[in-house]
Amino acid sequence: MNDIKVLDFLTSSKIAAGEVIERPAGVLKELLENSIDAGASAINIDIANAGKKLIRVNDNGIGIKEEDLKTALLRHSTSKISKFDDLNSLHTFGFRGEALFSIAAVSKLTLTSFQEGSKGSQIKAEGGKILHQTSAPEIKGTTVEVENLFYNTPARLKFLKSDSVERSHLLTVAEEAALANLNVAFKVKTDNTLVYNLPTVQDTEDGFRQRVNQIIGQETAKDLLYLEDKSFGFKALISPAHKLCASRNLQYFFINKRPVTCKVLQQALFKAYQPFRAQNKYPCAIIYLTLNPADFDVNIHPQKREVKFSFENDIFNFLYKTLSQKLLATQDKAEITLSKSTAVPQIPKANIITQKTFENKPNLNVAAELANLLKTAPVPDLKTYEHEDPVLYNFDEPKKQENIEEVPTVPNENNPSWWHGPYRYLGQLHKSYLLFEDTDGLLIIDQHAAQERIYFEEFCNLISKGEVARQPLMFPLNIDLPASKLETVLNWESFLKETGFEVSKFSGTVLLVSSTPALLKMGEKEIKEFILSFAETAGNPLKTDNEFRHKFIATKACKKAVKAGEVLNEAEAEALLENLKTCKDALHCPHGRPTMLNLTLAEISKKIGRG
């Protein structure tokens, strides 16, 4: 028997389908591209059971002739090209002729279509086999029904994510198609619930803004800046420099209306915002380019998501320059001000730094200045940020009672290693750092980082005990979200409830918030900002649940903690120090930054010349 053999048709079909159809969203993408290629001006999408039970796409496009219906389900059958050179002048999404074949190989598919001058017809296929073809009503356009996806490939079905995650991916595909094709009306339903009903809009700035507003929500869309340039057929809506988002999830790139992932475009966007971007803040961007099909290649990836340009440097430089000029022209609108001048005693040979602040919040690195003044060894950077990407260091799962316990006050005879009390409070430095004299020297505490640590452990303790108090809102708050992001939030509904937030689905694109954590005392603006940030970051598949919980609780602690620039009296400063003493990890805030700096008397004496 020969060791090498040709695979049978069904096996090779399933393998080929796996390259094109990885999940239900891949099916929807292929069907939408076919509808748009057919010249449809209205597309209806129905999804059931996150696409596993049903994906139905109906359009009013040109349709398929009765005699072509069976051929459409064969591999490498297409009306888009006839020879390889046609790729250089391709103006359609599809061209390989694999979509319907691949979908039919792993589902039960029904294809119904009518083209003027022909007859209405319907064909059914199951697991790659064509069952029969019958006549159908003569209704213009095509309807494709995909049922029981992956029924014959149980391994593929097993590795799908939760319904909420898969539904989010499906809605993202629909959103991208709607953003790319303003001249097409979209109606989207999931489990018989209307999510989107988007009419056609004009291909103008107003039409562009209207469609973007309907997809990403008014809160984010209202401040976007519009750009247009004839070079490369460029137009875009981008965030102003002072209104950035919590993640990259609201960045869309389209080449000839095709949604793409391209490092050249991503890097140009990143570089343009680099002078204005705070840590862990990212622009929202919807960017369109219209190019000659011969100038880029989409045939380098099975899903045609990645592209290569024949002139990458030109594209990069154009996009970077255009975005930078727009941001610089609107820089005066950014909320950047100089802090009020404060009289600072002149110390010989000391470097006095002129402080700039962002949104009136001081950003003073006292530790570095003291190190420079006293010429001590380098010390950690103690800058304070409201939004930081936390690092993990032995963080226990907050749900487990045994891992997070209430920490009793530490007895005097068993103080933590960093404690060198008794302490005498000396005062507050630049309304950011608390100074304490101890038996061995000077203790400097970052008031924001220290209180973050205190609240972080308090929140973890309350969550583990299920004792987080909720504050019901007098009037539930409606928050507009993209449907895909709303699904992401709902996927965390039980965890949000544990932490004090009660949320529910009001409509396909509106989230209802009915209560918030009592500890946070959040206003309407803060609630909206928090939920929008959560929606943007919660769905990151690279982060584990434990890591995301850590970041979530750390953010809540950060919001509640005293900020740099706020005045504390002596009693408040001493209470903060005492509470810090009881923390499991008093030396670091939840983000991993130091909460304190110790300067011994010996160090100070030596550097001044008395040692």
- CA angle 128/21/109 to nearest 5° reads 40
Residue with tokens 């409509």: 507
Question: What's the distance, Cα to Cα, between the start and end of the chain in Å?
Answer: 89
What angle separates helix 545-560 from helix 524-537, to the nearest 10 degrees?
A: 160
Structure token pair of residue 139:
């209704």
Q: Please, what is the Cα angle at 543 between 537 and 545, to 5 degrees?
A: 95
Cα atoms in the Cβ-side hemisphere of radius 13 Å centred on 466: 3
- Tell me the β-bridge partners of 226: 237
For 483, the enclosing helix (H) or strand (E) is: helix 483-491
* CA 431/CA 251 separation, integer angstroms: 38
Integer Cα distance of 222 and 240 in angstroms: 11
Q: What's residue 279's pLDDT?
A: 75
The CATH number of the structural domain formed by 362-611 is 3.30.1540.20
Between β-strands 251-255 and 285-289, what pairing exists: parallel, antiparallel or unpaired? parallel
At residue 563, the pLDDT reads 84
Divide the 611 residues of the chain into consecutive groups of 10 and give the mean pLDDT of each group.
60 56 92 93 97 97 92 73 52 64 92 94 93 94 96 88 90 96 97 95 95 91 94 94 86 93 92 86 94 78 71 93 92 47 37 33 40 38 40 39 39 74 91 91 93 90 86 91 89 88 90 89 85 77 61 79 88 93 91 90 84 59
Q: Which CATH class is domain 205-332?
A: alpha beta
Q: Tell me what pLDDT residue 14 has.
A: 54
Q: Is the previous residue joined to 422 through a cis bond, with omega within 30 degrees of 0?
A: yes
Region for residue 327 given its phi and psi (left: phi exceeds 0; alpha: psi -120 to 50; beta: otherwise): alpha
Comma-separated ranges of CATH 3.30.1540.20 domains in the chain? 362-611
Q: What 3-state class would DSSP assign to 290?
A: coil
In the chain, where does the domain assigned CATH 3.30.230.10 lie?
Answer: 205-332
Of 531, 490, 528, 509, nearest to 213 by C-alpha is 509
Tokens 């009793």 locate to: 408
Cβ atoms of residues 305 and 261 within 8 Å = yes
Q: Which residues of 105-123 are buried (b: 16+ CB within 10 A; e: fewer)?
A: bbbbbbbbbbbeebebbbb
The SS3 of residue 245 is: strand
Cα–Cα dist 55/218, whole Å: 29
In angstroms, the CA 185 to CA 500 distance is: 39
In whole angstroms, give the CA distance from residue 303 to residue 81: 18
Distance CA(484)–CA(471), nearest Å, equals: 28
Give the residue range(s) of CATH 3.30.565.10 domains in the chain: 9-198
DSSP string, 296-332: EE-TTSTTS-B-EES-HHHHHHHHHHHHHHHHHHTGG
The pLDDT score that the predictor gives to residue 121 is: 96
Let me know how many helices (H) and strands (E) the chain has, helices first: 18, 24
Q: Which CATH number fits domain 9-198: 3.90.1200.10, 1.20.120.420, 3.30.450.20, 3.30.565.10?
A: 3.30.565.10
**CA within 13 Å, CB half, 294:** 4
Which residue do the tokens 């740099």 mark?
Answer: 564
**Per-residue model confidence (pLDDT) at position 21:** 83
The per-residue pLDDT for 89 is 53
Q: What is the pLDDT of residue 80?
A: 56
